Amino acid sequence: MAAGERFDAIVVGSGVGGMCAAARLTAAGMNVLVTEKSPYLGGRMGHREREDCVVTTGALMIPMGPASAIRQAFDAVGADMDMVDLTGRMRYRLAHGDYDLPPGGGGLYGMIEFAMQDEAAARALFKQIQHALFQWTPLDTISIRDWFDQYTDNVEVKNLFQGYCAALMGVNLHEIPAGEFFRFLKYSSKGSRFGMATHGNGALMDTLATAMESKGTQIRRQTGCKRILIDEGRVQGVEVNNSNGNDEVILADLVLSNTGPDRTVELAGGDSVFERSYVEKLHTHAMDAPIMHISFVMDRPVIEGFQGCMVFGNNRNLIYLEIPSEISPHISPQGKYLHTAYGAPADAANPDLASELKVTMEELEKNFPGVTEEATFLVKAKHRAPAPGMHRWVGYGMPVNTPVAGLYNVGDGCAPPGTIGTESAAASAREAVAMILAQRK
């Protein structure tokens, strides 16, 4: 097969990691191509239209502050982030009631005291958390559940943080390394701001694409990568099946894969192409974080006037609820209220997603009686490999660089320490492009 065009860099996949990497490379003056196998951009940070509603493909809460790697990528190419700021609009539900984060700060201690219902015990635990944040960060040799077990036997405070971890990190209290939990807590508290895309995540990705295209970057939808081409330990380009159904070789000295580290290795020819230590790390704790996604529309909101995010610590599987149409009027037709809920498996290593999706639905009804009869369900999905909630558990990410010269991974499978979800994907892009630009200098 004859080689075709040549680019400085090819980005395989248009998830938030791939798009942010492409934006940074574009801003650096490189000739960039983005290939995406589907007609849509964004991956888990996109949307689809269902019953005239804008339904997310995964992400809801998008980091948008100046320190966010997502915001920085948009700024790099002059793309606008049309967002509704939801910072601080969090409600936590436990067995004995709901707790709203106070707008003036002090939310972490308030959450703990509300959960424990004991001021002295709450202050003692909060002191240990402060020590872990600012004095001695626990090692990753124990889970965050193990860490809490040292200092309290209060069930409700553990339920609180179980809901917090499952909703924000995709895995459970007993599955997250203690050190990584505190790195995230410390990282996320530094002036972070979060919001929801006013017109849906897909519109946000299209805006970023337009800004890049205006600077010469090419974005080819319905163009799936068949192979990453390697010769003598160096990347040469990719073979794709293009939108016309034809196979095509495209050359580049740099390939950044947003397909997940495992898929990248497959595309590049398998384990034998890579140095042994990389392969061993790839196959060590190589578990994705599955998630259950339920979106439904009703003639009323299940919580009147609620324009925030609810995290559940009173369930086995149901972990999160948002009412996007209460936040932005562009998300659903007038008089219709779109809701999105998520469930997480009780054991992310050995999930039974079919039965746990059923339990998630039952818990949705238990928390909001009548919903299963009144609602029209638009999505009941179980996200797992090859399109999981996250490609690897928090704290077990792969490096962004690989032993193959010029080949990089971006996305949540190579999350930098202290980052999660969409922000981790964008932060991996920031890290990978920084490496590339440093080498070019």
d(CA 414, CA 131): 28
What does the pLDDT read at residue 234? Answer: 98
Q: Is the pLDDT of residue 3 over 80?
A: no
d(CA 47, CA 56): 4
DSSP 94-125: ETTEEEEPPTTS-HHHHHHHHHH--HHHHHHH
Share of the chain above pLDDT 90, in %: 94
Structure confidence at residue 378 as a pLDDT band (50, 70, 90): very high
Q: Is the pLDDT of residue 385 over 90?
A: no
The one-letter amino acid at 234: R
What domains appear along the chain, each with residue ranges and CATH number?
3-45+69-83+200-285+394-440 (3.50.50.60), 106-188 (3.90.660.50), 289-383 (3.90.660.50)
8 Å CB contact between 398 and 414: yes
Match 């080949």 to its residue by tokens.
407
Nearest to 122 by CA among 165, 160, 82: 160
pLDDT in tens, 16-63: 999 999 999 999 999 999 999 999 999 999 999 999 999 999 999 999
What does the pLDDT read at residue 278? Answer: 98
Q: What mean pLDDT is reported for the chain?
A: 96
pLDDT in tens, 296-330: 999 999 999 999 999 999 999 999 999 999 999 99
Match 């626990």 to its residue by tokens.
138
Average pLDDT over residues 181-207: 90
Within 8 A by CB and 6+ apart from 320, the residues are 60, 167, 309, 310, 311, 312, 341, 342
Q: Is the pLDDT of residue 126 over 80?
A: yes
Q: What is the DSSP letter of 223?
A: -
Structure confidence at residue 386 as a pLDDT band (50, 70, 90): confident
Starting at the edge strand that comes first in sequence, how are the strands of the sheet with 62-63 ordered?
A: 62-63, 194-197, 83-85
Nearest to 1 by CA among 250, 329, 176: 250
d(CA 312, CA 318): 7
Q: Is the pLDDT of residue 2 over 70?
A: no
**β-pairing verdict for 407-409 and 83-85:** unpaired
